Structure 1
């Protein structure tokens, strides 16, 4: 029996929300937690875009979470009861993300939120999540420079992908680099990190351009790249724009063997959407690739693709990181229930019991990962893959050991992210964002 409800909430027009710094002050979560009762489903909110410029990666996040919760429910659920996802289409609109977050927490009274692909959307909803002392599972790479007490992240930080990718590309292709990104906080902050790794690798930045999120016009940027003659391009372009960028790169006559694109976002799903001929030869840094050769991944790929959720025909890094959030939630909820009792579990209680949680090799397609006890990001093994002619990726470099997530890797004077907040060198709590 399929216990999971998949109700698509209607969305209304909303003004774009500004990305604001989150306060450390939080209200009690008692008023906003779902009234849990043993035997009744646990409601969770799935806050992704099914339409608009961000739909290419985010639709798969919704699909794989439904798959994961089906899998969990068939194996006894969470704490012995099924999970009931409430699905939202955020329409690639930051105002809608913000509005639907309030609806999921206040009206639907979900126990946790799973959502967002961009840092702009995450920052649009975090003020509400923090104010209500709720819980967000954020399943993709981000820039760091943030220490919230209500977010658990399963994607890599900058020190877990670009720190390896930049020196690898400099060594293989040359020192001259051109940065291209979408115009919002993640690409800009990621490039601050990349510039430091580039300097340490002896590289040279020969250009830096940002295009509006969702834009498909890269003619002027490609003209500047042609003039600058870089050895490779470092891309933090996302969503539909990423697909347009790769297609126009090839259509304008640029050659991947002499000027490849090194990306933090262009995986199997983007390559499938653009056509493998436009992705072949380019590089991606990520902890997961569909071609990972281990029994758990082989089972995951086979079962997901033959399920009703595998309609897009591939798995990829963001999908796998999203899949992991379901199992991190399950473990955290059950640990909290053991500590405080099932009916007393709150979003904050789950978070407070999630430090150190491990997703073992037999569940995680990328292999063992675990949640850091202080900053609630994930320990993982970075990898670099090169896109092949069939759209799959050949892994060309992989870390031998897990890398600790460090949200302030380029801001050592900011302090240390702890379970109670960002502590400065003096030991006092500070504002949690740069």
Structure 2
């Protein structure tokens, strides 16, 4: 964490990269929030750590949104200038970057596509000072004034998937394993209720330290428990390593897997040979054939090339978050914090997933259950 006693230039230069939808400059240029009328958005996205696997595609998704919004006149007539911060470090260190950026007037809004542990640290540090849009799947229940969460939550994502597997695949015995931080902790509490509702029972649960790559003890426990389904809430690259080891141990043919933060980026890392009996539930899959997603994919690959990193759910949420902010500001007619937050209730916005409605409990979206098919997901059911 950068010391608050450091010189002003030392506080400002290292944290971020700046761009307006292509190109970049350092933070040495033009200090001061809102100078020249630009809207400075602090984009907090993991570029390192276990969640860093989503970094490259997240940057592309945010860049595409900035290009599109600026081409249409920006937000309330202000051109977006995106300042990218690495949110892959320790939560306290990331919160320190946010405090510096807000305190020195470098950002007007924060958009975050990072893990929930970082969200908790950021909201405690800067909530109520600038609007904070949080984009990915999370555990639900975010009610901090000034924080706007638009991602999937367990009642939307996990409940119908568990019920479907119980009915269609006769799944009764469940083992839960997740990374050791707030999203898996709280999501698993809800998941246990949904398992009981579906007539199933829990046969084991583990939490794995972030960055841990030796999963032998957990795999041995799973093997001994003989579950029908292993629900996996391990994050990012840690999930890649766990799922490879799971398959190499011969477990993939013997039990189902249901991934939480599982998208095409993680699936590619796991490898087609290791994804047998792998399911995932999400509000977005890159392979979903809808008019909105077909148009989004055409723009995305047109901008970054056919070999650009796949825009999976976690990365694509960064695109959604910026278009949500645009629609919210248009509805509120202002970027002032409290009128902006008040305008969220009842808002409908449209981006890669098509129309999404906002209510008192967050975003209301369709949820897809999909099965891994090689390096891709094949949607099976729309809830």
**TM-score under structure 2 length normalisation:** 0.88
Report how far residue 161 of structure 1 moved. Answer: 0.6
Q: How many residues align?
A: 360
Within the candidate set 345, 369, 378, 1:384 is matched to 369
Moved over 4 A (4+): 2-5, 7-10, 34-37, 309-312
Q: Which residue of 2 aligns with 1:415?
A: none
2:45 is the counterpart of 1:78? no
2:75 pairs with 1:91: no
The answer to whether residue 104 in structure 2 is matched with residue 114 in structure 1 is no
CA contact (8 A) 1:54 1:92 kept: no
- Residues 252 and 277 of structure 2 are in contact (CA less than 8 Å); yes or no, is this contact kept in structure 1? no
Aligned to 2:16: none
- Contiguous gaps of at least 5 residues in structure 1: 11-33, 400-434
Structure 1 residues 145 and 100, CA, compared in 2 at 3 Å: closer, same or farther?
Answer: same
Q: Distance in 1 between the 2:107 and 2:320 partners?
A: 19
Partner Cα separation in structure 2 for residue 139 and residue 244 of structure 1: 25
Match of 1:350 among 329, 340, 350: 340
| 1:280–1:299 distance in 2 versus 1, CA, 3 Å | farther
Matched with 1:144 is 140
Task: Give me the whole-angstrom Cα distance separating, in 1, the residues matched to 2:171 and 2:33.
Answer: 58
| Residues 51-78 of structure 1: CA deviation (Å, up to 9, x unaligned) | 2222012443232111111111122221
Three-state SS of the structure 1 residue aligned to 2:262 is coil
Residues 178 and 233 of structure 1 are in contact (CA less than 8 Å); yes or no, is this contact kept in structure 2?
A: yes
The 1:162/1:97 distance shift into structure 2, 3 A limit, reads same
1:104-183 alignment to 2 at 5 Å? 104-130=101-127, 132-171=128-167, 172-183=169-180
**Bigger helix share:** 2
Are 1:113 and 1:136, in contact at CA under 8 Å, matched by a contact in 2? yes
CA distance, structure 1, for counterparts of residue 27 and residue 312 of structure 2: 27
Change in CA separation of 1:165 and 1:88 when aligned onto 2, cut-off 3 Å? same
After superposition, the C-alpha distances for 1:268-319 in whole angstroms (9 at most, x for unaligned) are 0111223232234301110111111122211211221232387643121122
Q: TM-score w.r.t. structure 1 length? A: 0.78
Corresponding residue for 2:298?
A: 302
CA RMSD of aligned residues (A): 2.2
1:221, CA displacement in angstroms? 0.4
Give the aligned partner of residue 253 of structure 1. 250
Residues 311 and 150 (structure 1 numbering): CA distance in 2 closer, same or farther, change over 3 Å? farther
